[in-house]
Amino acid sequence: MKQLFHLSQISKKAIIVTSCFFLFPSSLLSAQAQTKGDLQQEVTLLAQATTSENTSKADLKAPSAKNLATYTLEFNRSPIVGNRMRLRGVYSEGRLAFTRPRGWKLDRGRVQALIRFQHSPSLYANRSNLTVLLNGISVGSVPLNRKESQVGQVLFNIPPKLLQDYNELTLVAQQNNTLECSDPSSPDLWTEILPDSKLIFNYERQPILLNFSRYPYPFFDEFGLETNQIAYLQPSQVDQSWLTAAARLQAALGRIADFRPIQTSVVSDVANAKANDRLVIIGTPNEQPTLNTWKNLPLKVVSNQILDRDNNPVPDETGVLIITKAEKSGVPVLIATGNSAKAVEKATQFLSQPDLRKMGTGQVVFVDTLKEPSTPGLRQWPRYLPEQNSFKLGDIKTQVNGEPFSDVTVRGIGAPPVEIDFHALPDDRFLRGSSMNLVYSYGPQVNPRTSAIEVLLDGVFIGGARLDSEAGETRKNLKVNLPENLIKPNSKLQVFLRMNPREPFDKQNCLQPPDQQLTGTVHSDTSFDLKREISTQLPDLNLLKFGFPFAAPQDLSQTAIVVPQTPSKTDVLTLLAFSERLGRLSQADAVKLNVYTPDALPTQARKNDHLVGIGTREDFPFPEVFNSTGFNLSQAYSRSSANAVVQTPQDTQGMIKQIISPWNSDRVVLALTSQTETGLERVRQVLNQDPWFFQLKKDTVLISSDQKDPVSYDADAYQLQFFQSASNTRRLENTTILSKASRFLQENWLLLPVGIFSVSLILYGILQLYIKRLTADKK
């Protein structure tokens, strides 16, 4: 039977992807409110109980208990729902996935699903119902018997024992509009799940175990439904060593978080940390004086010296990691310390290396020796296409879990597509002739007249073939040309197996032909042959969306961030936001990002690294940026361009600008700046929020907001204005002379007819001279 939302069986990948959007309410529009008339007619039904018009709203609340907390997860945070989830046909399924946070204990609590719905007035009530399942187990059902499409709602009690780390809620609609046989294609067969449906959790918070074997928990919960909150304790003096250590740790957390949000803050005192914060303390006891007075530390701190269990000072080259709790608030605290700046750096670097941090256990870890992994190549990007031009599908790692792509089998009439992350490297330029040799199989009993395989690239059809064998095929090949102008760093290939059964719908006997025997497989030995070269033009903020060029190589070793000599709190938060963003956009075995102040910036780093400057115009570390051509903040509260100079005494906009480095034409300088602290805060917020960050383009963007405290997920929170004003550009390429000439003609094709006309005139003149000479010789 045809299913509208036909998804594969519950899998970690599907649940993680859907959970991503649960964590990003900004990616969806809010649900539209129902009319007052509908609200007055609503009835709350309790699943598997007698319907009552007098059911009170108290049924929606959890049992009263002092130690129980309540969390509500609304359906409109999922892209599957958006503004609606419509179930069509005789049988239809819709699925939502969510996770169970590590810190929740549900044994004494209660889990409920409040489902609000509307359905077609044509449904036959005795033969139509809505069933809810959790992880494949039914938790209740309700008849679809509302009149005139009135809004109904039903409350399902879910046994807490059914919940796992990864969960899938399935809504099944069985719909009929006649007493005998319903046509599955009838438009009258529909039920709509309203976006303000919700899951209600009443839970008890579990005690937090202080053990590095569970790291990154409790500082980051990959199963969390709420935003993870990290608070850094500001040291007595913010110097280069602390800035570098904090930036590297934040980049490592960004890699762990991936799509999940992190809210970062800086506090001046341990007491200022909020109840949901996870406090991070970086620095020696001299830099963090609070360590000297901390009473419940597992190690002693005497006279700014950390002592081991034998009361001897820890060696200066040994990093120390401690997990503890704040004395009064009980907030979990991560301490990366040591008796020297080198030891602190070693401690934070231990946490940034995925394989090494798995070695940690207990409440204290001493990092004696630490070998940094080698720097990967400039074009070794794990989440993108392999560097080689010829490779197999199994060489591509999946976006979610990082595992190599394996054979994928789909079933049924409405089989979902097989999706392949076909991410080109940011500096790739594709040429004609790239192809894909698709290896696929399909089973017997498909209808060869109506079944086909289709290949789409970013939704554009690029190839296909009929499934023309009644006996099925094993490992059949299909060559598909890959259009050079469609492949991008965020491209996605989709392979659809459109499989239809041979038997049509039997309306006389009301029999829907079976479809689960219809199977198709895409094999991992599908091969690709690409024609490409290295060629890209800078500056381009569109490439920043993929981390280029700052994430090349992926350990960030060729990127240097420079902050003012005395950075403000906003400067530090912007630094952490950009470091986190680079972490999300890269994947490597280490983080080698460096942070400097203007006086400490080495000449070699200035010449050889990509530079990122942070600060307001008055304290900006690279004043050369404001002397560049195009749109700029030329003077205090003044703006200039090639055509005008204006005064803006109330300038609260932020600016992100990229230029070619004045010290190396193969490097760029990225400016995160503004006239005021308010404008720089706008820059930080855009870096933190995916819906805004992934809009960046051209070489300059101005960020403004009409709201004093804008809500990040509000579609009108920020206004972005883009400029392409850089006169000094640089093309980074490794191509042949013929390829350069071809690219030049493609980009300047108007010159081609002019050139042909000019060459024709020259040839015509030469011929005329030759003819005149021949005529003169004859005379």
Tell me: pLDDT of 37 over 50: no
Contacts of 341 (CB under 8 A, 6+ apart): 241, 284
Are 103 and 194 found together in one domain?
Answer: yes
Which pLDDT score, from 0 to 100, does residue 743 have?
A: 66
Residue 92, pLDDT above cutoff 50: yes
Report the amino acid identity of residue 376: P
Amino acid 645: pLDDT: 82
When pLDDT is averaged across residues 658-679 and rounded to a whole number, the result is 95
Report if residue 372 sits inside a domain: no
Q: Is residue 1 part of a domain?
A: no
- 630 contacts 726 by C-beta, under 8 angstroms: yes
For the chain, what is the largest distance between any 2 Cα atoms, rounded to a whole number of angstroms?
120
CATH of the domain at 501: 2.60.120.260
304 shares a domain with 226: yes
Residue finishing a domain among 530, 549, 568:
530
Range with the poorest average pLDDT among 130-134, 149-153, 641-645, 738-742: 738-742
Q: β-pairing, 129-134 with 85-88? A: unpaired
DSSP state of 622: -
Nearest to 624 by CA among 592, 653, 664, 587: 664
Q: CB neighbours (10 Å) of residue 476?
A: 16
Domain that holds residue 760: 742-773
The predicted pLDDT at position 409 comes to 96
Same domain, 573 and 522: no
Question: 144, 118, 147, 150: which is closest to 131 by C-alpha?
Answer: 144
Domain at 315, CATH number: 3.30.379.10
Same domain? 582 vs 513: no
Instruction: Please give the pLDDT value at position 585.
Output: 96
pLDDT band of 79, cuts 50, 70, 90: low
- Nearest Cα residue to 593 out of 216, 237, 250: 250
**Is the same domain home to 717 and 747?**
no
Check pLDDT > 50 for residue 582: yes
CA–CA gap between residue 749 and residue 756 (Å, rounded): 11
Position 555 in a domain: yes
Burial category of 301 from C-beta neighbours within 10 Å (exposed 0-12, middle 13-18, buried 19 and up) = buried
What confidence score (pLDDT) does residue 747 get?
67
Residue 454 lies in a domain: yes
Indicate whether 496 and 544 sit together in one domain. Answer: no
HSE (side-chain half, CA atoms, 13 Å) at 358: 3
Residues in the chain: 779
Distance (Å, whole) CA 134 – CA 132: 7
Co-location of 338 and 451 in the same domain:
no
Lowest mean pLDDT: which of 49-58, 88-97, 659-668?
Answer: 49-58
CA–CA separation, 536 and 237 (whole Å):
41
Q: 339: which residues sit within 8 A by CB, 6+ positions away?
A: 284, 285, 305, 306, 313, 314, 315, 316, 318
Residues 59 and 190 in one domain: yes
Is 456 within a domain? yes
For residue range 313-340, what is the model confidence (pLDDT) as tens digits? 999 999 999 999 998 889 999 999 999 9
Angle, CA 407 vertex, CA 405 and CA 412 arms, to 5° = 125
In a domain, 752, yes or no: yes
Q: Residues 393-404: what's their mean pLDDT?
A: 83
- Whether the per-residue pLDDT at 43 is higher than 60: the answer is no
pLDDT at 444 over 70: yes
Answer yes or no: do 705 and 748 share one domain: no
Domain boundary residue among 205, 228, 251?
205
pLDDT tens, position by position, 233-276? 999 999 999 999 999 999 999 999 998 999 999 999 999 999 99
Q: Where does the pLDDT of residue 108 fall: very low under 50, low under 70, confident under 90, or very high at 90 and above?
A: confident
Q: What are phi and psi of 567, to 5 degrees?
A: -70, 140
How far apart, in whole angstroms, are the C-alpha atoms of residue 526 and residue 522?
A: 8
Q: What does the pLDDT read at residue 120?
A: 94
Do both 724 and 752 map to the same domain? no
Q: What is the pLDDT of residue 66?
A: 64
User: Is 491 inside any structural domain?
Assistant: yes
**pLDDT value of position 7:** 39
**What's the structural domain count of the chain?**
5
Segment among 40-49, 153-162, 408-417, 541-550 with least mean pLDDT = 40-49
| Residues 340, 218 share a domain | yes
Q: Assess contact for 111 and 140: CB atoms under 8 A.
A: no
The mean pLDDT value of the chain amounts to 87
- Encode pLDDT of 531-561 as tens digits: 999 999 999 999 999 999 999 999 999 999 9
pLDDT at residue 253, rounded to an integer: 97
Looking at residue 436, its pLDDT comes to: 97
Boundary residue ending a domain (205, 232, 248): 205
Which is more confidently placed, 158 or 766?
Answer: 158
pLDDT of residue 26: 39
- State residue 49's pLDDT score: 35
Could you write out the three-class secondary structure of 685-751? HHHHCHHHHCCCCCCEEEEECCCCCCCCCCCCCCEEEEECCCCCCEEEEECCHHHHHHHHHHHCCCH
Are 88 and 78 in contact by the 8 Å Cβ rule? The answer is: no
Residue 482, pLDDT > 80, answer yes
579 within some domain? yes
316 and 291 share a domain?
yes
The pLDDT > 90 percentage for the chain reads 67
Report how far residue 338's alpha carbon sits from residue 305's, in angstroms, rounded to the nearest whole number.
8
